Amino acid sequence: MLAAKGRETLEVLQERLATFLAQHERLQGERAALAERLSHTLRAYEEALQQLRRYEQERVEMRVRLERILGWIDPGVPSGE
């Protein structure tokens, strides 16, 4: 009877270990997928940030040009210089 109980305990432990290992493997896969998704998101963020910087620079350049043109048309308009 003691041997049977020991066998049941061993089977329960083996089952729990198998369940744990399966869950661990599944979580590792999810972790890898999330890491890949994060990597893509960070790349997209960096690209958007670079584009924003370009747009901001272009906006500043356009403002300077517009102020220069307005200065030619109406000398009373302060230029950005």
pLDDT in tens, 11-29: 999 999 999 999 999 999 9
Residue 77 has pLDDT above 60, yes or no: no
Residue 71 and residue 79 in contact, taking contact as beta carbons nearer than 8 Å = yes
Model's pTM, two decimal places?
0.59
Residue 78 and residue 64 in contact, taking contact as beta carbons nearer than 8 Å = no
With a CB cutoff of 8 Å and minimum separation 6, the contacts of 62 are none
Residue 34 and residue 46 in contact, taking contact as beta carbons nearer than 8 Å = no
Per the structure, the count of domains in the chain is: 1
pLDDT of residue 1: 54
Range of the domain at 39: 1-81
pLDDT of residue 58: 98
Percentage above 70 pLDDT, the chain: 90
Q: Distance between CA 10 and CA 43 in Å, rounded?
A: 49
- Amino acid letter at 46? E
- Amino acid letter at 44? A
